[in-house]
Structure 1
Amino acid sequence: MHHLLIACPLAVVLFLTVGCRTTWAQEASGQQPANGSSDQETVKAWNAFYQSDAENAYRFVLQPGDIELRLDPTPILRWTNPLEQGDIHGAVYVWRKGGRPLVVGQLFSYLNNRGGRVYCHAVHSLARDGERLTGSRDGKVFWTPDSPGVQMHDLPMAPAPAASRNLRLTQMKSFSRRFSAYTEEASRGKRNLRLLTTPLDRFPENALEEPDGALFSLVVGNDPEVILVLETKNSAAEGEIWQYGLIQSTRSTSVALLDDKEVWRYDANEKTASDRSSVYLSVHGIATLPLEAPRSPAD
Structure 2
Amino acid sequence: MSQAILAERIAEVMRRSGRAVTIKEISNHIPDKPETTIRGRLYNNLERRFKRVTRGVYMLIDGAALVVQGDGRDLSILDSSSVDGLVTDHPWRDDKSNSGSNRRFDKTYDQTSFRYTLEDFKEKARVLKPGGFLVEVLPAENENNWKYLYEIKCMAEQVGLRFYAKVPWRKGEFVYNTGRKSKNTEDIMFFTKGRARCLRPDVQRGGLMSGTAFMLPTEFDFAPKAPHLRIHQSEKPVELYEAILEAITLPGEVVVDSFAGSGNLGKAAINRGRIAILFELLKENVTKILDNLAPQHSPALL
TM over 0.5: same fold?
A: no
Could you state the TM-score of these two structures normalised by the residue count of structure 1? 0.26
Could you state the TM-score of these two structures normalised by the residue count of structure 2? 0.26
